[in-house]
């Protein structure tokens, strides 16, 4: 069996080379027509440990945190197997999550309660979110904001000693030959 690192590299390369896009055809759910950007984080133990999955733009769903976009870990872990790869996430897992929300194991209590008590109002609110946050323009904007957030987390220009960039071209230390 290949190493987890090799498997990560292989799965990511397959996704990058495929120019992958998922479309729910004849969806008949309130999510129909929505376009979401998805963040997938692969742990070092992948494929033996499930990936973390999050929606970059907002979505109103019982098993997805509305603000962070995180998908309920129980939902992922219940179905995850090392036999799955990245394509399974996009071809099977995410479409199933949108088609069959589980309001009994919610990350978004408001969505779960509305789905169970007032299904018509739940569908209206989902459609409102799709229109407002899941159009092509909104998805592109959310993706750009996500990239900006990554840039803001950089500490590369932090000046510890307050002396500016005088030593910028000097090495930080000696590198040992391996």
Q: Kindly report the CATH number assigned to the domain that includes residue 49.
A: 3.10.110.10
Span 75-99, average pLDDT = 86
Residue 72 designated active-site: yes
Note whether residue 102 is domain-resident. yes
In a domain, 160, yes or no: no
Average pLDDT score over the chain: 78
Is residue 149 a part of any domain in this protein? Answer: no
- Taking residues 26-47, report their average pLDDT: 87
HSE, CB side, 13 Å, CA atoms: give it for residue 52.
Answer: 9
**What is the reported pLDDT for 165?**
45
Quick check: is 119 in a domain? yes
Residue 77 has pLDDT above 90, yes or no: no
Residue of 72, 75, 94, 130 with catalytic role: 72
Percent of the chain residues past pLDDT 90, beyond the cut: 37
Mean pLDDT to the nearest integer, 65-90: 86
- Assess whether pLDDT exceeds 70 at residue 162: no
User: For residue 177, is pLDDT > 70?
Assistant: no
Backbone angles phi, psi at 100, to 5 degrees: -130, 70
Q: Give CA separation, 130 vs 39, 123, 144, in Å.
A: 18, 10, 18
pLDDT of residue 170: 46
Instruction: Write out the residue range of the structural domain in which residue 54 sits.
Output: 4-143
pLDDT for 131:
93
Q: Lowest-pLDDT range, 41-55, 79-93, 134-148? A: 134-148
Average pLDDT of the residues in 143-158: 45
Task: Determine, yes or no, domain membership for 153.
Answer: no
Residue 167 lies in a domain: no
Instruction: With respect to residue 178, please indicate whether it lies within any of the assigned structural domains.
Output: no
Count how many domains the chain has: 1
Q: What does the longest C-alpha to C-alpha distance in the chain come to?
A: 66
pTM above 0.85, yes or no: no
Domain membership of residue 54 (yes or no) is yes
- CA separation, residue 14 to residues 31, 42, 78 (Å): 27, 14, 25
């Amino acid at each position: 069996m290949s190493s987890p690192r090799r498997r990560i590299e292989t799965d990511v390369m397959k996704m990058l080379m495929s120019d992958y896009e998922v479309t729910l055809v004849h969806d008949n759910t309130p999510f129909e027509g929505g376009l979401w950007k998805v963040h997938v984080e692969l742990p070092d133990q992948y494929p033996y440990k499930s990936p973390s999955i999050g929606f970059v733009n907002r979505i109103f769903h019982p098993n997805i945190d509305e603000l962070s976009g995180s998908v309920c870990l129980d939902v992922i872990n219940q179905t995850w197997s090392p036999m799955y790869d990245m394509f399974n996430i996009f071809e099977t897992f995410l479409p199933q999550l949108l088609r069959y929300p589980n309001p009994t194991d919610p990350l978004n209590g408001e969505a779960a309660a509305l789905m169970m008590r007032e299904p018509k109002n739940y569908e209206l609110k989902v459609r409102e979110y799709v229109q407002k946050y899941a159009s092509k323009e909104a998805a592109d904007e959310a993706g750009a904001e996500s990239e900006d957030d990554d840039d803001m987390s950089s500490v590369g220009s932090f000046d510890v000693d307050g002396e500016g960039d005088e030593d910028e071209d000097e090495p930080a230390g000696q590198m040992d030959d391996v």
